[in-house]
Amino acid sequence: MASIDDLFRKPIALPKRKLEDPTKAFSNALSNKSAKLAEGSSPRSSTNGSQDATASNGSNGRAASVEDEPLDDQDAVEAGPSRPSQGVEDDAGDDEEGRFFGGGVTKQEREVIDYIDKNESGELEEKIDAAWLRRTAINFERKINKNAELRAKYESEPMKFVGSEADLDAEIKGLSLLSEHGELYAEFVKIGSVGSLVGILAHENTDIAISACELLAELTDEDSATTEEQWNILVKALIKADVVDLLTSNLSRLDESSETDRAGVYHILNVLENIMSDTDNLEVVGANNAMLEWLLSRIKKPDPDARAKVGQNRQYAAEILAILLQSNKRNRDRLAQKEGVDALLELVSAYRKRDPEKDSDEEEFAENLFDCLACAVEERFAGEKFVEGEGVELCLIMLREGRLAKARALRVLDHALSGGNATTVSIRLVDAAGLKTIFGMLMKGHKMERSLVEHIIGILASLLRYLPGGSAQRIRTLAKFVENDYEKITKLVELRREYKARLSKADADIRREREGLSKAQAEERADEWLSRRLDAGLFTLQAIELILSWMVAEDNGARQTITILLGEDGLKVLERSLKDQLEGMDPGGGDEAKATEEMLEALILCVES
């Protein structure tokens, strides 16, 4: 008995109906008629007539035929039907009843053939709608079930199920059309195909799993033709189907020495990035310990064949890690618990004196490493690890000797000095002789990028806030402000004028836009206007005024200098600024916000007196 595979591989010999030549019957009739005419008979002739004709032909008794007639010129005789007259052509190419076309096919058959040809050549467009999705989903399920059945039945004979895997792979790729039709995402989830697609990630054949990853990347991509609501419906269904766990398990089994597997890792990271574009999903991905461990190990693993040993996937892993840490405290704590801060410090130390090649994967890799570090050190536990790992000292070395790393190291220090472990970091910075470096950069402010100046202002404000009162480190810091005839304070007042002028221009533009708007319309644009004020330097201006207020409170000589430098309004300028900052505080901000309120109230009293 033939196997199923044999039946599929060998064409079945079906009986063929031979189409007869439509001229054959006409030719046969003509031949018979010619023979009878040669005999002198007709359908109506008598038997006797036939006998006489036979006798006259001689003794052989054979009836005379056309073939027996001697022909002097064979070319002069035409056989068969006569030619059609010149200039006459059958428009339809068929007979009077429309039964036959050239090649012996009927009109209906020709229409079917034309339809198939158009479909194969792509001229015939398939309608992508709910009906198409249901048909495709049914075929998808059938291919999954058939492959699973054959794999279970012929576990040790791969050749017997390899064909079903090729069919399944083609079916997965065919679903990519769905990315252009976001209106079908809800139906795709409703009919249960999301669970089946995610389940494919666990397929024994990694090529099949990689195809599923590629499809998921397309469906969740920001360029897919979806609305936010449609995208959310799909992503929530994917998370519910444990897509993160299955993606992580694939990362551990793919071998990046293979080009196919390397592409698979890229698609997995792409899916994770797409999912985390909604910050609500950061916790879902970060809570997967295996995922976080893989990312940390991957950024530490050099790519031997890549330039500077940083390939696309190593860079991408650093980017995913940076996204995870951006605005999620728990993920930052998880990183610190896995010795992630030490790993990051070790990796960024390579850029103390060396810059990565411009516009390369390594440059983006380095940027992402510094982003990870800046985010992590805002938390208390990670800040402690940063100090223990001599992160403050490393950043100061980069400020003195680095080039590209200088701006990034300054940003890391700014975040660490305003984070949960700010007091310890502040003390360590002073003890590590960091004041000379920071104040030296302040005095060169006009030669630096605006972002560098703003980080320096942030660091100075944090030092005055977090260094313990009466400590040696605080006294050394205050001494730096007043040395050389208060030149640092003079520089800060100059910077305040620059930022005040920039902010005043933005405020004037906003006032013009506000004119004629109703209260409701103004409220709608409030966030936009605040963003523009921040871009103009509102936060830095407030930080400068906070530093000046601290110096008014700490040193009488600084108080007199600042009063003179600020002009007619004197200290009233600082008082108004401190009150504005106090009014802008979020009443439910927690312990940190409460401490900030108390500091502002104390400074207001000092400035008023």
Cβ-based burial of 453 (10 A; exposed 0-12, middle 13-18, buried ≥19): buried
Question: What is the pLDDT confidence band of residue 255, given thresholds at 50, 70 and 90?
Answer: very high
Q: Which residue has the higher pLDDT, 24 or 114?
A: 114
pLDDT at 291: 95
| pTM of the predicted structure, to 2 decimals | 0.76
Closest among 445, 433, 446, 386 to 414, alpha carbons compared: 386
Residue 70 has pLDDT above 90, yes or no: no
| Element holding 505 (H helix, E strand) | helix 472-514
Radius of gyration of the chain (CA): 43
203: left (phi over 0), alpha (psi -120 to 50) or beta: beta
Closest among 258, 375, 358, 256 to 316, alpha carbons compared: 256
For the segment 157-170, what is each residue's pLDDT rounded down to a tens digit? 989 999 999 999 99
Distance CA 332, CA 286 (A): 9
Q: What percent of the chain has pLDDT over 90?
A: 68
Distance CA 556, CA 571 (A): 13
Distance CA 162, CA 147 (A): 8
Residue 78 has pLDDT above 50, yes or no: no
Average of pLDDT values for 593-606? 91
Question: What is the pLDDT confidence band of residue 10, given thresholds at 50, 70 and 90?
Answer: very low
For the segment 346-368, what is each residue's pLDDT rounded down to a tens digit? 999 999 888 898 889 999 999 99
- Which residues are within 8 A (CB) of 69 and not within 5 positions of it... i.e. 6 or more apart? 38
pLDDT at 125: 59
Closest among 203, 155, 187, 153 to 171, alpha carbons compared: 203
For the segment 503-559, what is each residue's pLDDT rounded down to a tens digit? 999 999 999 999 988 889 999 999 999 999 999 999 999 999 999 999 999 999 999
- Which residues are within 8 A (CB) of 109 and not within 5 positions of it... i.e. 6 or more apart? none
Residue 189 has pLDDT above 50, yes or no: yes
Work out the mean pLDDT of the chain and round it to a whole number: 83
Q: Which domains does the chain have, with CATH numbers?
A: 125-272 (1.25.10), 500-608 (no CATH)
pLDDT at 233: 96
pLDDT at 43: 37
pLDDT at 111: 66
Buried b (16+ CB within 10 A) or exposed e, 93-105: ebeeeeeeeeeeb
Residue 45 has pLDDT above 90, yes or no: no
pLDDT at 602: 92
Distance CA 476, CA 470 (A): 10
Q: Are 542 and 458 in contact (CB under 8 A)?
A: no
Distance CA 62, CA 68 (A): 10
Question: What is the pLDDT confidence band of residue 431, given thresholds at 50, 70 and 90?
Answer: very high
Question: What is the pLDDT confidence band of residue 6, given thresholds at 50, 70 and 90?
Answer: very low
Question: What is the pLDDT confidence band of residue 15, given thresholds at 50, 70 and 90?
Answer: very low
pLDDT at 590: 77
pLDDT at 41: 39
Residue 101 has pLDDT above 80, yes or no: no
Residue 263 has pLDDT above 80, yes or no: yes
Residue 115 has pLDDT above 80, yes or no: no
- Which residues are within 8 A (CB) of 508 and not within 5 positions of it... i.e. 6 or more apart? none
Distance CA 253, CA 260 (A): 13
pLDDT at 300: 96
Cβ-based burial of 446 (10 A; exposed 0-12, middle 13-18, buried ≥19): exposed
For 271, what's the count of Cα atoms within 13 Å in the CB-facing half-sphere? Answer: 29
Closest among 232, 242, 327, 337 to 282, alpha carbons compared: 327
Q: Tokens standing for 500?
A: 């005040």
pLDDT at 103: 56
Backbone angles phi, psi at 458, to 5 degrees: -60, -40
Please give the C-alpha separations between residue 209 and each of 213, 253, 530, in angstroms, as whole numbers: 6, 11, 47
DSSP for residue 603:
H
pLDDT at 105: 66
